[in-house]
Amino acid sequence: MPNLKLRAQGEHGRVHHVTPENAGWTYVGFDLWKLAPGASAGGGLPDKEACLVILAGKARITVDGVDLGELGGRMSPFEGPGYSVYAPAGASWQVTATTELELAACTAPGKPGSHPVRVITPDEVTPTTRGKGTNTRYPFNILPETAPADSLLVVEVITPGGHTSSYPPHKHDRDALPAESYLEETYYHRFAKPQGFGFQRVYTDDRSLDETMLIEDGDVVLVPRGYHPVAAVHGYDIYYLNVMAGPKRTWKFHNAPEHEWMLQG
């Protein structure tokens, strides 16, 4: 099994590159680009749809030669919802930075032409609140299961310092609908203060997988199976970008029974 925690490879260009092949799974791909003004990135595969998420900065984006204009605006993922672009399988895309740019390219299996290219604006990304007390966190659904796509589910979450997230521990590693769906998942972590840190545990009921990781700014965590809670230490808010995909495009999770008591009342 590959390492579950991945550090950024360099400070410029493509600094993360997760594929089904190097992750040892089937569905999710994730690339993270850091580009200087004028620098470009591109992609597109015949059997992979893509969601391009502008985490910070501005860029001019074209899909299949159609100029979607200059998109972006937030200069930090902690500033609220940003701009994203959905590109169906078979479409080629190019992004040219017009400011310093942080861009995620989220991919999963798709059928060519099954959905149109579209820009997802901040107004379409509704901020929500989940949990209570020190388990409160703030998801922004970019590509929920109610939005058109073939496989991808994409969401951003802000977790305040001192809070937990993806908690109580839950999993989605069985194709057992309607109770639970099988979804692979990546977490891309950023911190409001770059020196910040937190923790993420990935584990199964039988502990055949049980890893607890120190997470720092720019880390990616792979979740091939099992529970995967996150803890933000005091003083350091965490942002993470989740990419999920599996054989059926729905998020049905199973809570760890021994911790489910905290959802009552």
Q: Tens digit of pLDDT for each residue in 165-192?
A: 999 999 999 999 999 999 999 999 999 9
Domain definitions of the chain by residue range: 5-263
Spatial separation of the C-alpha atoms in residues 160 and 152, rounded to whole Å: 26
pLDDT for 250 beyond 80 = yes
Q: List, for residues 73-125, the tens digit of each pLDDT value.
A: 999 999 999 999 999 999 999 999 999 999 999 999 999 989 999 999 999 99
CA 113 → CA 31, 58, 86, 90, 92, distances in Å?
Answer: 22, 27, 12, 7, 12
Instruction: Report the mean per-residue pLDDT for the chain.
Output: 97
Q: Are 39 and 60 in contact (CB under 8 A)?
A: no
Structure confidence at residue 246 (pLDDT): 98
CATH number of 5-263: 2.60.120.10
Strand locations in 64-183, DSSP E? 66-72, 84-87, 93-97, 101-109, 118-120, 138-143, 153-159, 164-165, 170-171, 173-176, 180-182
